[in-house]
Amino acid sequence: MVQHFRSLGYTVVVLHPRAGEPYRDAFVIQSIDSDTLNSFNVAVYRFASGALAKAHRRALVASFGQFPESNQWEIKNADLFVGTTASTELHCTFPNNGAPSCKPYTFPRNRFETVVAVAEGH
């Protein structure tokens, strides 16, 4: 899967699990849609089973990226996919009255689903 994404022109960083990590393999596809404000990264965690992926989903989704509250995730077979914004900035709006409202840039769910489909199709 790593080679497949590299052949499509993406930067892929292989993560080396530390002792005690629940997943067998992991990598991050970086800067998808990097020419937009909706750039995102996707971590792929491969487990021994789908049950293990489900058991560890919450902790891994909460620990990935700068703004984990905006993360998206999907489990396919024994793979957990976690998407996070690549932006390190907040997007703020300033109403005429009241406090500004700030949140992380988000990325379209359909783009995340496309990455998952490409990965699973390989």
The pLDDT value recorded for residue 66 is: 87
Identify the DSSP state of 93.
E
Mean per-residue pLDDT over the chain, rounded: 91
Instruction: Average the pLDDT over 67-79 and give the result.
Output: 93
Instruction: Average the pLDDT over 13-23 and give the result.
Output: 91
Structural domain boundaries in the chain: 2-121
Instruction: Average the pLDDT over 13-19 and give the result.
Output: 90
CA dist 80 and 94 (Å) reads 37
Residue 65's alpha-carbon distances to 43, 62, 108, in angstroms, are: 9, 8, 16
Mean pLDDT lowest among 2-6, 51-55, 96-100: 96-100
Identify the DSSP state of 21.
-
pLDDT in tens, 26-60: 999 999 998 887 889 999 999 999 999 999 999 99
In the three-class reduction of DSSP (H, G, I as helix; E, B as strand; rest coil), residue 86 is classed as: coil
